Amino acid sequence: MRILVTGGAGFLGSHLSTLLLQSGHSVICMDNLITGRVENIAHLLGHERFSFVKYNVCDYLHIEGPLEAVMHFASPASPQDYLEFPIATLKVGALGTHKALGLAKAKGARFLLASTSEVYGDPLVSPQPESYWGNVNPISPRGVYDEAKRFAEALTMAYHRYHAVDTRIVRIFNTFGPHMRPNDGRVVSNFIVQALQGKPLSVFGDGSQTRSFCYVDDLVRGITELLFLGSDKTVEQRTDRKFLVTRNEGADEFSMHDPVNLGNPRELTVLEIAKLILELTGSSSHITYHPLPADDPKVRRPDISRARSLLKWEPLVELEDALRRTVEYFRKAI
């Protein structure tokens, strides 16, 4: 396949581009480098099946030649980033998704949207299944990310239903690993960098809020499984409108087009994560407590029953091993 990855120089996009190249595909990486970094794709530059385009996906989007897939990963994705770039976050969720879907439609390409567990907001249900509609404050500061992704999901399903675009939606839960920025404001990277630098680990609230952390290698493996699911599909015509009908043994008829949670269902408190990182780094740093940000989710744990059934996927890398790998990355990066 020849595949466009928007946000391809970001944390997830760079790992995804690497895996796709290793699997024999050609990758066009597009990124405006607001939060992405050329360093993340430096090892790919010069590869005969890889090209990088510095570009804002919210602008007119055109790619010469055929495309078999468009993977839309462009967006600020950490609280620090989308609080700093609220309008850009909303624009890439709306305009950027519209442009990327339009390109997929024009090329007859499969489209995969990187959505987020943030669409569940501060959930009242745990673990969170894809059928849960969420508990979101749309006007809170962090609501820009929630609502951008919720709109992007709605637009993706509209293109699937109205234009018969072959779509996938992945709802990504907390993920960590190499290529995270040291100062990106995410829990794991914050704690590791603070521990390695001998600074206090900043816990917000009392640390009892929970998160479920997935290693990046597991996550991108699941994403590619979802992208290529149903490649030998049967396309039929419905009487009322052109529509993709997928025959997928062991799954209901349209399930591959519905959102799929990807994440690690192992749930820990933020305080437990902080203590584990102190242990793994051997740091003498202590923990300090700070006010909890507005609308910060109290629980976050994916129900991955659909991923297990549909993709035969579940995370394989143990949390402690994944943290050790990430600690070693940051030892060299900072």
List alpha helices for the chain, DSSP H. Answer: 11-22, 79-84, 86-91, 97-107, 143-163, 187-196, 216-228, 270-281, 305-311, 319-333
Cα–Cα distance measured from residue 122 to residue 27, given in angstroms and rounded to the nearest whole number: 36
CA dihedral of residues 322, 324, 328, 330 (deg, nearest 10): 70
Say which residues have a Cβ less than 8 Å from residue 192's Cβ, sequence separation at least 6. 277, 281, 323, 326, 327, 330
Q: Which of 320, 303, 234 is nearest to 265 (CA)?
A: 303
The answer to whether residues 270 and 210 touch, using CB atoms and an 8 Å cutoff, is yes
Catalytic residues: 145
- The label of the residue with tokens 């405006």 reads 32
Say which residues have a Cβ less than 8 Å from residue 107's Cβ, sequence separation at least 6. 63, 66, 67, 68, 70
Beta strands in 9-141 (DSSP E): 26-31, 50-54, 69-72, 110-116
Q: Which helix (DSSP H) or strand (DSSP E) does residue 262 occupy?
A: strand 259-262
Q: Which of 118, 145, 129 is nearest to 302 (CA)?
A: 129
Structure-block tokens of residue 19: 């895996």
Q: What is the DSSP letter of 106?
A: H
Cα–Cα distance measured from residue 75 to residue 150, given in angstroms and rounded to the nearest whole number: 13
